[in-house]
């Protein structure tokens, strides 16, 4: 195979994978702090995409304005989900919260169907032309500006998240809550607020991923979150559910493997890989790629 095509596919794979990584980071952020799985994350992503779609369509064809509004909207949505599914059910078994998030995800998909209709929508090209849609050539390899934007935003967000978690006071508090929320509470941390903040951050990552994918492929439909959410979820499991670097690496691996599977003629089964990875990791290395020795015990389980 041509080495240039190989490189272009690699870039495609990384672009795809970085979006999985963003979503998986959201899952990991939420599970890491609350020790609870949310299944509404894919739908948060979908809502983020639609918010971006409406901003570009109605307000102003600017990619970054769309990102900003989607960030705010999904942060609010995340807080709402946290209150509904976790805040009221803090003492309930894990399964209860899980079922509520499943219910919320069903509700969100159907609400989106009511609002935007079940059909696939796209942004008109007249609007897209106002945004940068060129491509540059580096040594015979074509990379579009859009791809670079997607990659740039992803890398920027990951860096911001890294600084937030590791270098700031808020990050320290989040880490303390993640380690042992009861001890953190005893030390005077407002645990409920921290749970909400963690959930909001996770949801914002999902919302950004939604805008990125929505504009990248220019396809918006109510069920767009389903498969993406589940794939990102398996990426997060592969990464170890609590490890942020693990989520990024797993997301990238899944994106690259998927893209190359299309190139090598297994396009029908490309959606399968993430779930196979997840099952394999669960079987042989349940701690995740970089997982620690101890099994992660879900709280209240």
Partner 1 sequence: MTNVLRQTLANLPYLAIVAIMALLPLVISNQYYIQVLIFIGIYIILALSLNLLNGYVGLLSIGHAAFYGIGAYASAKLVMEAGLPFPLAMLGAGVVAGVFGYLIAKPTLRLSGIYMTMATLGFNMILFLVLQNWMSFTNGPLGIMDIPSPSIFGYAIESLLQYYYLIFFLVLLTIVSMQRLMSCRFGRALVSIRENELAAEATGVNTTKYKIQAFVLAAFYAGIAGSYYAHFVKFVSPDSFYIYESFILLAMLAFGGQGNLAGPVVGAAVLIIIPEVFRFMQEYRMLVYGGILVVMMLVRRQGLLGGRNYSLRLPWFDDQQKTIYTRGDKFLPEDDT
Q: Which residues bind partner 1 (CB under 8 A)?
A: 37, 84-85, 88-89, 91-96, 98-100, 102-107, 109-111, 113-114, 230, 233-234, 237, 268-269, 271-272, 275-276, 278-279, 282-283, 286, 295-298, 301
Residue closer to partner 1 (CB basis): 97 or 149: 97
Q: How far is the CB of 214 from partner 1 (least distance, A)?
A: 22
Q: How far is the CB of 109 from partner 1 (least distance, A)?
A: 7
Q: How far is the CB of 22 from partner 1 (least distance, A)?
A: 20
Q: How far is the CB of 250 from partner 1 (least distance, A)?
A: 14
Q: How far is the CB of 32 from partner 1 (least distance, A)?
A: 14
Residue closer to partner 1 (CB basis): 88 or 125: 88
Residue closer to partner 1 (CB basis): 106 or 155: 106
Residue closer to partner 1 (CB basis): 110 or 168: 110
Q: How far is the CB of 179 from partner 1 (least distance, A)?
A: 18
Residue closer to partner 1 (CB basis): 64 or 290: 290
- Spatial separation of the C-alpha atoms in residues 111 and 233, rounded to whole Å: 22
Residue closer to partner 1 (CB basis): 134 or 265: 265
């Amino acid at each position: 195979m041509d080495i240039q095509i190989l490189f272009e596919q690699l870039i495609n794979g990384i672009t795809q994978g970085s979006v999985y990584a963003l979503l998986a980071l959201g899952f990991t952020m939420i599970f890491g702090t609350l020790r609870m799985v949310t299944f509404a994350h894919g739908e948060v992503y979908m809502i983020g995409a639609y918010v971006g779609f409406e901003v570009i369509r109605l307000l102003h064809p600017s990619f970054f304005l769309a990102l900003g509004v989607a960030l705010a909207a999904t942060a609010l949505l995340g807080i709402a989900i946290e209150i509904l599914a976790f805040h009221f059910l803090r003492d309930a078994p894990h399964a209860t919260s899980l079922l509520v998030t499943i219910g919320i995800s069903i509700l969100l998909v159907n609400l989106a169907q009511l609002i935007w209709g079940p059909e696939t929508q796209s942004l008109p090209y007249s609007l897209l032309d106002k945004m940068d849609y060129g491509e540059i050539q580096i040594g015979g390899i074509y990379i579009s500006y859009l791809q670079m934007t997607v990659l740039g935003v992803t890398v920027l967000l990951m860096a911001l998240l890294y600084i937030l978690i590791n270098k700031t006071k808020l990050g320290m508090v989040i880490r303390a809550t993640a380690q042992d929320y009861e001890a953190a509470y005893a030390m005077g941390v407002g645990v409920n607020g921290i749970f909400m903040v963690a959930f909001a951050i996770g949801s914002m990552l999902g919302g950004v991923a939604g805008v990125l994918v929505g504009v990248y492929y220019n396809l918006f439909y109510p069920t767009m979150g389903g498969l993406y959410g589940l794939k990102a979820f398996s990426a997060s499991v592969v990464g170890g559910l609590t490890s942020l670097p693990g989520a990024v690496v797993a997301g990238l691996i899944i994106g690259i493997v998927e893209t190359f599977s299309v190139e090598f003629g297994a396009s029908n089964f490309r959606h399968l890989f993430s779930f196979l990875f997840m099952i394999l990791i669960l079987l042989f290395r349940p701690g995740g790629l970089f997982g620690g020795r101890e099994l992660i015990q879900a709280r209240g389980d």
